[in-house]
Structure 1
């Protein structure tokens, strides 16, 4: 094994065994404050005027967002609302906010790593992130995509059901890795992550999340010749809560099952996250919901903008 840059050999082994890894104090308090202040600024500057009232919902029943505002967000910074932050529209009455705009936001994405100077610095310019990717040894040419702030607003921040990331950011072969950065302390009461350790070794990526061929929104399709998973992961014993302090980097294998509960507390749970896929041989095709553009391709981590 070549010499590691950031990870210890024990951490690397935990990653391989569990499919996720928490690295406390990866970012200093000063660095965390800069990212959190920027996330707060973006929320405070959100202007609801002219917004299409696009919500984001990751539902166990398969209901997902899919309007053009969402689908064309790879090269933009856009705001997606908590479903419970607005009234339901009717043919005669448009949706209206139930809370102030800055408190209505589920997430902001999906091009923060390219377009926002602060998050660019802590993603594409960050040598420690690059060295972690090298230490993992999973990808020869990691490409960064889907960079976003997730807010988990107090009282209304919704549940994220049991899922894995490669279903939503599918490559052939599957290659996604998530980098999830706690900007505030994450606890069971405000919606910390939970993982099923080792599930990445057993899960088959048997379906994928795509743009609906009808041109209306998004849908799931089964992958041919890949048997469905027999396990009902959500109801199995063995889940581990991943409480963590601000500044923690959480690495998430694309096949590991994970989830988070709603935020019933009076505290926010701001995080910044982005994903990496293999750019050397893994195919990211036109069916995927998130698409690069000629002007903004998915950025190579080792030689990004």
Structure 2
């Protein structure tokens, strides 16, 4: 096992780390000295130096951050709710419901993405259904506007065309605060809906297995004490699900920061780079622009970001034991 992991995991990671320090076009052998060694220049271009590379990378981080902030909580809550529903012992057709809820998770992501393209076209089924209730739906995959900026602009709080003040005068990684706080685009919201629909079923099964592992005696004792359903969920079910909840959140966090398939099939970063993600930018830099060094650097920055956020999540969800008071 150590040999297999070393050969197919550790060694490729070390090779990619070396490539991230080179200016390599993919045509020569990067380990023969033919590629130019540039050190940390690829990382500086993404994080420090003003230019298009840093702007695109910051844009991809902003888009992916909103994707994570919306997708992970929604899919977790939805998966837990579905698991609680299908775990009811008196519910009829439980097996059929489990299959129906889980079915999107086993469907090809490419096929589902293609279906969503047809559904959310300007004249697609979603806009047709909205028209029945008098709502004119947007041109989903061609609308680059951020939903938060649209909301603030509709309320008259911000001039979205010419933002002023702190939002326009301050910036981070080459993007103004207004661009950071504009929210996910309408196109990105569509991809978020797709992600929630396709992943909730998998996490539902994980929660369902954990719910069935909770001792019935614990629930019966709580019922005897007169707790209601909300109290049962808060004081009995959720504490028992803490390790599984951490697992689901960790898996969701990692997968959402690595989103690629849906972006590649549905938008490739369009419109206006509002669906661009670090994973797709890494692929585009390497295979479209023939800059494999920068593509590898993006991948390692993304890896560091995922490790930091996973560690922070583990710290926040750790078991907290009460401290013993010192006896006087």
- Is this a same-fold pair by TM over 0.5? no
Structure (1/2) with the larger strand percentage:
1
Which has the higher Rg, Structure 1 or Structure 2? 2
TM-score, scaled to structure 1: 0.28
Structure (1/2) with the larger helix percentage:
2
TM-score, scaled to structure 2: 0.27
